[in-house]
Amino acid sequence: MQAQRPVGGLTRGAGAVFAGRHGGEATVVLSFRRPVGPASPRVNVLTLLLTLVLAGCAGADPALSCATPVRVATVPLDVISSLPTVQATISGASVRLLLDTGAARSLLGSAAVQRLGLRRDRFAGERVAGVGGGVSAALNAITGTIVLGGAELDQPEMAVAPVNIPVDGLLGADFWLRYDADLDLPHRRLTLYEASPCPRAAAPWRGPSVRLQGFEDAPPNRLLLPILLDGIEARAAFDTGAQASSVALRLAARFPPPPGGWQAVHVRGVNGAARVLPARRFARLQIGELVYADWLMPVLPLPPGPIEALVGEDLLHGCRTWFSFRARQVFVAAAPGDVLACRRSGP
């Protein structure tokens, strides 16, 4: 069993959270997607179309759907504060994007949108709220496509909000619904495949691996994994954009007060407003065959919904990871009970 690494900052996830050091204190930015004003007919039509597309895929010929995965692109990875990022091109200009499976929506920072000179969609926008109390609302940016590793990928629009992290934006679940991903952090590369609804029997690499099967009844834009936290079952979002794993306030309320007392952590919202959140230690955290002891987890006021916790990069220890939103599946290059096995696995 490995001791927990120090948490340099807190967490990001459940729709855009970032942690880092600021003024000597741990900081975090949290945002989540909500429609701006009443849902427009256009938004409703897009939702209906997405539902029809997913339903059509579910009834597709298994022989075609489950064929050998089709590689789309391979891109070099850069790691910033333990989080995976890629260099991409939007509107002919270079941007750095965070790979964020915990965000429901892909997003560009306001400064990046201005620098790229992107047009706005007059009929669709997002409201982004932060744990620090700040709220911003803006019309979506029309992006058209994103170029990754020489491949031109459809990305018609992205939400817009102030970004106080060292990237230009993030790729959220609307992107990952279209692509399965081999996130190879040890070798600093990301490989994208056409999304398949078919679960894999084994990881796409040699060496040990742990398979984590997600909930089939989760919303399409959430990859939710079963966890066991001090004997209590919960649903946790797989969040590559989270530096540290965390629990929702409503889940923390199901536990008795921590024996060692609550710890306080300082967080900062998207507009720079600061507040203090509690954190507690859990004796045992289990995710499939991966087990962790004496784990400190901050408590976040996550919005109502199915997410009760976040599984972040601190629990993955930089392991190679394969994930599919369509197949509701994650593979981690680790042996049961040994999360550091990823450092010994072959390519």
pLDDT value for 241: 87
Q: What are the tens digits of pLDDT across the range 111-120?
A: 999 999 999 9
Q: What's the pLDDT score for residue 33? A: 40
Q: What angle do CA 117, 119, 124 make, to 5 degrees?
A: 140
- pLDDT at position 7 over 70: no
The torsion angles phi and psi of 47, rounded to 5 degrees, stand at -65, -45
Are the beta carbons of 227 and 279 closer than 8 angstroms?
no
Contact between 279 and 263 (Cβ < 8 Å): yes
- The model's pLDDT over 43-54, given as tens digits with 9 standing for 90+, comes to 333 332 233 233
Residue pLDDT, tens place only, 235-290: 999 999 888 889 999 999 999 998 878 888 776 543 445 677 899 999 999 998 88
Q: Are 162 and 270 in contact (CB under 8 A)?
A: yes
Higher pLDDT, 204 or 66: 204
Span of 210-219, 299-308, 330-339 with lowest mean pLDDT: 330-339
Cβ count near 335 (within 10 Å): 18
Q: Does 14 score more than 90 pLDDT?
A: no
DSSP per-residue letters across 197-209: SSPPSS-SSSS--
Residues 6+ apart with CB under 8 A from 207: 333, 341, 344, 345, 346
pLDDT band at 68 (very low <50, low <70, confident <90, very high): confident
